[in-house]
């Protein structure tokens, strides 16, 4: 199994609409990628307020997509990546970073 993690860095002026992201964008992800090998998704929200002087979390948000294989993800991305990428400005002005990993333990 592989995990594709989409990371949204914490930066000055960065905006992120969690309601849109979880209710609409991830719904679209499931609709498009569900029939193409997507196993499950998860959404992480970086916590704040860890105490006075504590630095902010490096990322505002992380979206995780677990696929059966890299081949499944690449095929799904090729077909639907454009539509999903076009939805990004609807919830954030932060450029997403991608991390593709094998889940080894």
CB of 83 to a second copy, least distance (A): 20
Q: Which of 28, 32, 44, 72 binds a second copy (CB under 8 A)?
A: 44
Q: How far is the CB of 14 from a second copy (least distance, A)?
A: 15
Q: Does 65 bind a second copy (CB under 8 A)?
A: no
The owner of tokens 């209710």 is: 23
Of 60, 23, 65, the residue nearest 42 (C-alpha): 65
Angle at the Cα of 89 from the Cα atoms of 87 and 92, rounded to 5 degrees: 115
Quote the CA–CA distance of 28 and 87 in Å, as a whole number: 9
Tell me the window of 31-39, 57-65, 76-84, 85-93 that interacts with a second copy (CB under 8 A): 57-65
| Contact assessment for residue 14 and residue 92, using Cβ atoms and an 8 Å cutoff | yes
Can you give the binding site for a second copy, defined by CB under 8 A?
2-3, 5, 7, 18, 22, 26, 41-47, 50, 57-59, 62, 70, 97-105
């Amino acid at each position: 199994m592989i995990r594709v993690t989409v990371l949204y860095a914490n930066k000055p002026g960065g905006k992120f609409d969690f309601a849109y992201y979880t209710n609409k964008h991830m719904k679209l992800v499931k609709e498009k990628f569900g029939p193409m090998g997507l196993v499950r998704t998860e959404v992480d929200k970086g916590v704040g307020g860890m105490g006075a002087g504590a630095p902010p979390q490096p990322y505002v948000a992380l979206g995780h997509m677990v696929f059966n294989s890299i081949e499944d993800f690449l095929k799904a991305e090729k077909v639907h990546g454009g539509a999903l990428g076009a939805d990004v400005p609807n919830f954030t002005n932060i450029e997403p970073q991608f991390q593709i990993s094998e889940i080894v333990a």
